[in-house]
Amino acid sequence: QSVLTQPPSASGTPGQRVTISCSVSSSNIGSHTVNWYQQLPGMAPKVLIYSNNQRPSGVPDRFSGSKSGTSASLAISGLQSEDEADYYCAAWDDSLNVVFGGGTKLTVL
Amino acid sequence: QVQLQESGPGLVKPSQTLSLTCTVSGDSISSGGYYWSWIRQHPGKGLECFGYIYYTGTSYYNPSLKSRLTMSVDTSKNQFSLRLSSVTAADTAVYYCARALIGSTWYYFDYWGQGTLVTVSS
């Protein structure tokens, strides 16, 4: 069972703003920063957000991240059909092991 | 452009050792600044990180896999490798290699291989 808990699914219509949550259930992760990855069907994951709210070069500013205490969120504004994918949060634990959330399947209606 | 490519057998028998190699192009592993990692994804499931290794050989292993895991680096070939012993059907997954950019309080995997499916079956 993952110590990073995500809803299994989320949905929205084109143009809408959607958020995906990531709840940290382990005290040895709560102090560490959270990353978000997007995985399109049949593809390797791609980083969208690192260090809670930083976007790597090339990631559209429609994607934003936040973290408060033991809860993190990914927000996607101006939802597009190409955003339909699986989204994973990830974090370090105190032993420097990388742990991933179970993933959220985003459907664009 | 940095590219990573996994290679190795697609079929491994139970109890044997799974061996994969990741060949890096567009960057030198020994240039430093990055860690190199293996991540797997069970069919239809989430992601699991094995750990990561620096070009010097310094490594961090996932505690749940540590007893069966060996990671290594070959700077002369610009490759890094994974060996997972005593495999079972539960090790059937898509295996990705990835580059990890690590800062003082943050990290992320910025480049990934395309992934290779490894099936454990007799």
Q: How far is the alpha carbon of A30 from chain B, nearest alpha carbon, in Å?
A: 13
> pLDDT value at position A93?
79
> pLDDT value at position A27?
64
**B113 contacts on A by Cβ (under 8 Å):** 44
Query: What's the one-letter identity of residue A71?
Result: S
As a whole number of angstroms, the distance between CA A4 and CA B120 comes to 28
As a whole number of angstroms, the distance between CA A87 and CA A45 comes to 9
Query: Is B117 in the A-facing interface, judged by CB distances under 8 Å?
Result: no
The chain-wide mean pLDDT, for chain B, equals 95
Closest CA to B35 of B60, B64, B2: B60
Structure confidence by residue, pLDDT tens digits, A18-56: 999 999 876 666 678 899 999 999 999 999 999 999 999
> pLDDT value at position A94?
76
CB contact under 8 A, B108 and A100: no
Average pLDDT for B32-53 = 93
As a whole number of angstroms, the distance between CA A76 and CA A92 comes to 23
> pLDDT value at position B105?
80
Q: Please, are residues A23 and A70 in contact by the beta-carbon 8 Å criterion?
A: yes
Is the model's pLDDT at A2 over the cut of 60?
no
> pLDDT value at position B102?
85
Mutation pick from A67, A86, A98 vs chain B, by most beta carbons of B within 10 Å, is A98
Structure confidence by residue, pLDDT tens digits, A67-103: 988 899 999 999 999 999 999 999 987 777 889 999 9
Spell out the residues 6+ positions from residue A43 whose beta carbon is closer than 8 angstroms to its own: none
Average pLDDT for B67-71 = 97
Interchain CB contacts (distance < 8 Å): A and B: 60
CB contact under 8 A, A99 and B96: no
The chain-wide mean pLDDT, for chain A, equals 92
Query: Is A3 in the B-facing interface, judged by CB distances under 8 Å?
Result: no
Is the model's pLDDT at A1 over the cut of 60?
no
CB contact under 8 A, A50 and B106: yes
Average pLDDT for B15-40 = 95
